[in-house]
Amino acid sequence: MGRRRNYLYQNDGDEDSAIDLTPMLDVVFIMLIFFIVTASFIKESGVEVSRPDSQTASQKDNATILVAISADNSIWIDNRQVDIRAVRANIERLYAESPEGGLVIQADEHASIKTFAGVLDSAREVVDPSKISLATRS
């Protein structure tokens, strides 16, 4: 009489040597969420401007809204060209998304002061004037 082995229910200790990866995956996903939330994303205004020179410029790090005025007086917000009448509405929308940040106006050195003043007036109606800056070259 031979011994019959049941290989389906045989336990050679394979279950004890397996590594449970679930806690490691949890940690990796938590770290990924942390880095996504805390990462600072570079915002672009949508057009390249030649900024004026300044001797007293200082660095502002909390700018969340960028408004660009090109040399031909076109206004760009969020990579879109915007009419002067729609500047306030666009700034209100962006400011509602992140009210803790500031606003930076990137005006070309050849842009009209009239266009700059219009954008600045629209921005002052929405954002605290102490949070509004003009981008310059230092």
For 71-88, the pLDDT digits (tens) are 899 999 988 999 999 999
Q: What is the CATH number of domain 63-134?
A: 3.30.420.270
> Residues 103-115: what's their mean pLDDT?
89
Per-domain residue ranges of the chain: 63-134
Is the pLDDT at 15 greater than 60? The verdict is no
Q: What is the pLDDT of residues 59-71, one digit of tens each?
A: 666 777 889 998 8
Instruction: Note the pLDDT of residue 51.
Output: 65
Cα atoms found within 13 Å of the Cα of residue 94, Cβ hemisphere only: 22
Instruction: Note the pLDDT of residue 120.
Output: 93
> Residues 14-41: what's their mean pLDDT?
81
44's CB contacts (< 8 A; 6+ apart) are 66, 79
> Residues 9-25: what's their mean pLDDT?
70
Contact 46, 77 (CB under 8 A): yes
Instruction: Note the pLDDT of residue 85.
Output: 93
- Strand, helix or coil for residue 112: coil
pTM beyond 0.85? no
Amino acid symbol at 106:
Q
The residue ranking higher by pLDDT, 46 or 106, is 106
